[in-house]
């Protein structure tokens, strides 16, 4: 068969475009390394585009330090005078990092970090001494976590530059509460609060409705760790009648759904996509080993080690999927890197969705 030069050129261009498109759909696993001189790191948050990852790592002195990773470089974010810090959340654009750090008196304080302002101590509730920040809104303006009040109780808190640290209260009869997630539209905060029986119960808080107990799965306790962009889907872990913990996905219409396990007794959910359709966390397999999972309504719970086995070198394994990007593409957490023989934070790019 003969081809004209123009037809040959057209076919060649089509092949090149096909290769480019295939490359754009490629999947990858990036081990983020550690700070110089030590051998562990853990990732807790990822920006919307997957370019920025935050968490904590140990430095050469064995001190835990909050980090911000970008373009292959792990940056030590410092501390508030007490040598230790941990980062737990990041804004959608990667510019704002939140967590906790020790101050000069070795008390833990919630912080908000930016490149221009450095690490800002967000303070505590009146007459309190300690606090921590666990999540930040998509725009970086609202920070949630917990802070000590005048009675030395831990209280779920919501911080803004204009309003400072706000106590979100507790469930009726309880004293303590902690906030772990905030919706992208900043209207919903989730976490756990003690009830009158002193059991931890997952809550969903709004300014108009206050703190709502989301229940459990037949057991006594539950904790909410993350929430969808519009606040409609909440994920976390809850106890079943036998006392084991199970990952859950909660909606107002469906209540608390048990997401199952990977063959073992227990599981817990720690991250959810913006639309609430993809959940990540950890689950035990039949051998009792902790494995990272991704859950969808259509696919159920899958072990990321199996789904992305081709990306793992022999002996390496992922342990926990801690967070997921809003579009469900990027997953971060930690695992064992057999090449370096250490536990490291990872960034998993599952490809365009």
Taking only the tens place, the pLDDT of each residue in 90-124 is 999 999 999 999 999 999 999 999 999 999 999 99
Residue 322 has pLDDT above 50, yes or no: yes
Domain residue limits at 326: 29-349
Residue 149 lies in a domain: yes
Q: How far, in Å, CA of 231 to CA of 324, rounded?
A: 16
- Residue 3 half-sphere exposure toward CB, CA atoms < 13 A: 8
Q: Is the dihedral of CA 220, 136, 129, 63 positive or negative?
A: positive
Counted residue by residue, the chain has a size of 353
Residue 315 lies in a domain: yes
Q: Do residues 260 and 246 lie in contact, with contact meaning Cβ atoms separated by under 8 Å?
A: yes
Residue 16 lies in a domain: no
- What is the rounded average pLDDT of the residues 4-20? 39
Average pLDDT, the chain: 92
- What is the rounded average pLDDT of the residues 75-84? 96
Q: Which pLDDT tens digit goes with each residue over 144-154?
A: 999 999 888 99
Of 6-10, 75-79, 229-233, the poorest mean pLDDT is in 6-10
Count of structural domains, the chain: 1
Residue 212 lies in a domain: yes
| Residue in 98, 59, 105 with CA at minimum distance from that of residue 81 | 105
Residue 135 confidence (pLDDT): 98
CATH number at residue 241: 2.120.10.30
- Banded pLDDT at 25 (limits 50, 70, 90): low
Q: How far, in Å, CA of 227 to CA of 211, rounded?
A: 15
Residue 17 has pLDDT above 90, yes or no: no
Residue 19 lies in a domain: no
For the whole model, what pTM was predicted?
0.91
Q: How far, in Å, CA of 208 to CA of 191, rounded?
A: 17
Residue 18 has pLDDT above 90, yes or no: no
Residue 26 has pLDDT above 90, yes or no: no
Residue 46 confidence (pLDDT): 98
Residue 24 lies in a domain: no
Residue 252 has pLDDT above 60, yes or no: yes
Residue 93 lies in a domain: yes
Residue 181 lies in a domain: yes
Q: How many CB atoms lie within 10 A of CB 17?
A: 10
- What is the rounded average pLDDT of the residues 69-85? 97
Of 1-10, 56-65, 233-242, 256-265, the poorest mean pLDDT is in 1-10
Residue 165 structure tokens? 């640290």
């Amino acid at each position: 068969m003969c081809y004209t030069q123009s037809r040959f050129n057209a076919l060649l261009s089509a092949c090149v475009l096909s290769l480019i498109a295939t490359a754009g759909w490629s999947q990858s696993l990036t081990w983020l390394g550690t700070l110089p001189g030590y051998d562990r790191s853990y990732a807790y948050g990822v920006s919307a585009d997957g370019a920025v990852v935050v968490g904590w790592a140990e430095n050469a002195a064995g001190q835990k330090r909050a980090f911000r990773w970008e373009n292959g470089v792990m940056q030590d974010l410092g501390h508030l005078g007490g040598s230790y810090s941990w980062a737990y959340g990041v804004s959608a654009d990667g510019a704002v990092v939140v967590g906790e750090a020790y101050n000069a008196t070795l008390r833990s304080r919630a912080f908000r970090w930016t490149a221009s302002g450095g690490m800002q101590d967000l303070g505590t509730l009146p007459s309190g001494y300690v606090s921590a920040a666990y999540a930040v809104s998509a725009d970086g303006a609202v920070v949630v976590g917990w802070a000590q009040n005048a009675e030395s109780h831990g209280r779920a808190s919501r911080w803004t530059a204009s309003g400072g640290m706000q106590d979100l209260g507790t469930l009726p009869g309880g004293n303590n509460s902690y906030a772990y997630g905030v919706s992208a539209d900043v209207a919903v905060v989730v976490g756990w609060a003690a009830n009158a029986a002193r059991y931890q119960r997952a809550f969903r808080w709004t300014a108009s409705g206050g703190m709502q107990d989301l229940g459990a799965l037949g057991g006594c306790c539950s904790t909410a760790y993350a929430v969808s962009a519009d606040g409609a889907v909440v994920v976390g872990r809850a106890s079943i009648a036998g006392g084991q913990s199970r990952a859950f996905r909660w909606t107002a219409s469906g209540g608390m759904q048990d997401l199952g396990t990977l063959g073992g007794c227990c599981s817990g959910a720690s991250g959810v996509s913006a639309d609430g359709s993809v959940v990540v966390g950890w689950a035990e397999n039949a051998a009792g080993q902790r494995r990272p999972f991704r859950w969808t309504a259509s696919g159920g719970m899958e072990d990321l080690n199996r789904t992305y086995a081709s990306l793992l070198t022999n002996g390496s394994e992922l342990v926990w999927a801690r967070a997921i990007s809003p579009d469900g593409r990027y997953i971060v957490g930690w695992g064992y890197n057999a090449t370096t023989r250490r536990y490291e934070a990872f960034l998993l790019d599952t490809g365009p969705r």
